[in-house]
Chain A
Amino acid sequence: MIALLKNPLAYLSTSFVLFLMALPLISIGTTSGPRLLLWIGLVALCVGGLIPPVQRLLFAPKQPPAAKPDNESAN
């Protein structure tokens, strides 16, 4: 799990797939299929949405260097 959250492409891909999975599950679960699919889909939506902010909270980037003064004329 930690390794996953340290790899931006890996955790964003996981989030992406979970968002996509939620769509058919919730649709089927609220219309023709068993209600269980609705709750599985809702969980997928929640976990997919939780991953990016949780990654931020657990692995906040180091403070960026202070902005330099506007020295554009020296560029």
Chain B
Amino acid sequence: MQIPVDFLHWFLAFLPIVALAFLLIQLRWTAQQAGAAGIFIAAAVAFFIFKAPLETLAVAGAKGVWDAMFILLVIWPALLLYQIMNQAGGYDALRQGITRMSRNELFIIVALGWVFASFLQGIDGFGTPIAVVAPLLVAFGVRPIYAVAIPIIAHIWAKFFGTLGVGWLATLQVVDLDEATTIATAYQSGLLIIIQAVLGGFTVVWLYGRWPAIRHAWPLVLIIAAIQGVGQIIVALMDPVLAAFIPATAAMLALYPLSRWPRYANPANDIVDRPAMLASHAGDYADKAPPMGLGMSFFPYILLTVLALGTSMIDPIKNALGSFTFGFPFPKVTTGYGITNAAATPYSALAPLTHPGASLIVTALVTWGLYKARGYYNAWAITAKAKQKGVLRGLFESAVPASVPILAFLVMAGLMNHSGQNETLALGISAIAPAYAFAFLSNGIGVIGAFTTSSSTSSNVLFSDLQVTLARLKGLPEATILAAQSAGGAIGNAIAPANVVMGASTAGISGQEGAILRKTLPWTLAAFLLTGAATVLLVLLAK
């Protein structure tokens, strides 16, 4: 029996996504609540409309939980490292090291709002750049609305490959690609993401001081965007997991020589109109002195680079660590319409010792021991005049709420995939959209996914398989369309409700989310249009 492709089935297959968007945006449910509700809507459609038996639904859900493990293995150690750094004053040391580099206010805004936010996305992600940088910019004298909009826009380029490749790993979990297509996807994703790096940098500068600021900062923007964008492509071809982290780190290091350039070492007195600023950055920024220097605060990221590079690029180590794998077996399951998923023993085996989470765990534990031995936690608690909640408690309180929506979205994605809902969506869109129009709009599907779920990773999990199916139906290169989805999934984060709400709350302007969206929406539209045009160009070049 063939799966029916008519308006009713297409609409019902789209219903879980519409419901998710409605719950998140209109009813303002949290990602945990909306994602979990989405499971039952997808399951009901699968059971009653797409004739998926309970066993198929159970297997699809369990596979979704397993798929989430690959992401959770990064989230938990990344948040552990964040707590270890934060509660020792490590991020304050990093920020102060940056602000001492220059007397040029615009340079500092670029350094903190763009380069530092991107660096945090490369390693931590999950909203950390916004949560950390927005209050730092407010403290520096940036108007709160701009202080939220700047890091939101500026860290987008590092979303897909950031957090040690979470978005990339999640995408590979839900699509079945051969090696050549996988490499082409990484390369073309990097190409499309250059748009975000360049556009993000110029937008930050524009927000600060309009055209005079652009005239002053264009060399700085181009240099940093080249390090980030081109660097990302180069590293993506070697190890996509490090593709955002290494160029983001290189851009951080490049700040030092750039700060010695007289153009950026001295105040930019020709920029008179500065709409982003509340007051002048007058001289040194007096603050609480962190217990460590810039070098020690940078230590975990150096160690992480060494470990990640060692376990991914030195073959004897990689092979030895990669020999240990495990996973769960699942039987063949099918639906009443003949959508079949083969048996797997095991399904999607995990090599935990070569997974990026392993390097993160070792880095976090070594850093924790070092900082504790040097007494940073006690010293910072006295300096900050606040009782720290403790690293493990902080980890638990941040990682559990972050884990549940990931599990829910991946279970929902598994149900839609195993029941044939994604296939129906693909066939329906394919029936009405010409190939090149679809290529142009394909990143828009990613934007919608990130907007509805507030996560580029979730967007890719929900739509990557659909996009690949559509590309095959349209005769378009799979790698290009998947790259457009990945780029769109990142772009949509600029208007993602959870990001805007989180930034507004950490900057102390809750209730002014609309004003922040008015700053980020034009950037989102421009990035969508440019990415669409670039996608069509890549398709033409591939023909």
Query: Are the CB atoms of B39 and A75 closer together than 8 Å?
Result: no
Q: Please name all residues of chain A whose beta carbon is closer than 8 Å to the beta carbon of B28 when the two chains form the complex.
A: 64
Q: Please name all residues of chain A whose beta carbon is closer than 8 Å to the beta carbon of B54 when the two chains form the complex.
A: 42
Query: Are the CB atoms of A27 and B404 closer together than 8 Å?
Result: no
Query: Are the CB atoms of B400 and A22 closer together than 8 Å?
Result: no
Q: Please name all residues of chain B whose beta carbon is closer than 8 Å to the beta carbon of A27 when the two chains form the complex.
A: 62, 328-330
- Measured between alpha carbons, how far is A67 from B517 in the docked complex, in Å? 13
Q: Please name all residues of chain B whose beta carbon is closer than 8 Å to the beta carbon of A45 when the two chains form the complex.
A: 58, 61-62, 65, 411
Query: Are the CB atoms of B329 and A64 closer together than 8 Å?
Result: no
Q: Say yes or no: A51-B331 contact (C-beta < 8 A), given A20-B65, A22-B62, A38-B55.
A: no
Name the contact of B143 in the complex, choosing from A32, A53, A75 (C-beta under 8 A).
A75
Query: Are the CB atoms of B331 and A67 closer together than 8 Å?
Result: no
- Measured between alpha carbons, how far is A45 from B39 in the docked complex, in Å? 10
- Measured between alpha carbons, how far is A51 from B32 in the docked complex, in Å? 10
CB distance from A15 to the nearest CB of B (A): 5
Q: Please name all residues of chain A whose beta carbon is closer than 8 Å to the beta carbon of B512 when the two chains form the complex.
A: 67-68, 70-72
CB distance from A21 to the nearest CB of B (A): 9
Query: Are the CB atoms of B511 and A65 closer together than 8 Å?
Result: yes
Q: Is B86 interfacial (CB-CB < 8 Å)?
A: no
For B, the interface residue count at a CB cutoff of 8 angstroms equals 47
Which of A48, A64, A65 has the most chain B CB atoms inside 10 A of its CB? Answer: A48
CB distance from A32 to the nearest CB of B (A): 8
CB distance from B509 to the nearest CB of A (A): 8
Q: Please name all residues of chain A whose beta carbon is closer than 8 Å to the beta carbon of B324 when the two chains form the complex.
A: none
Query: Are the CB atoms of A12 and B36 closer together than 8 Å?
Result: no
Query: Are the CB atoms of B144 and A75 closer together than 8 Å?
Result: yes
Q: Is A3 interfacial (CB-CB < 8 Å)?
A: no
- Measured between alpha carbons, how far is A22 from B55 in the docked complex, in Å? 13
Name the contact of A26 in the complex, choosing from B39, B58, B144 (C-beta under 8 A).
B58
Query: Are the CB atoms of A72 and B515 closer together than 8 Å?
Result: yes
Query: Are the CB atoms of A9 and B397 closer together than 8 Å?
Result: yes
Name the contact of B62 in the complex, choosing from A12, A41, A67 (C-beta under 8 A).
A41
* 17 A-B interface contacts by CB (under 8 A): A12-B401, A19-B68, A19-B407, A22-B65, A30-B58, A38-B58, A42-B58, A48-B407, A50-B36, A52-B30, A53-B33, A53-B37, A56-B30, A64-B28, A70-B515, A75-B143, A75-B144
Interface contacts beyond A13-B396, A26-B62: sample of 16 additional A-B pairs, CB < 8 Å, sorted by A: A9-B400, A16-B400, A26-B59, A29-B58, A30-B58, A30-B331, A31-B330, A42-B58, A48-B407, A49-B408, A52-B32, A52-B408, A56-B29, A56-B30, A70-B512, A70-B518
List chain A positions with a Cβ less than 8 A from chain B.
8-9, 12-13, 15-16, 19-20, 22-24, 26-27, 29-32, 38, 41-42, 45, 48-53, 55-56, 64-68, 70-72, 75
List chain B positions with a Cβ less than 8 A from chain A.
28-30, 32-37, 39-40, 54-55, 57-59, 61-62, 65-66, 68, 143-146, 278, 328-331, 345, 396-397, 400-401, 403-404, 407-408, 411, 509, 511-515, 518
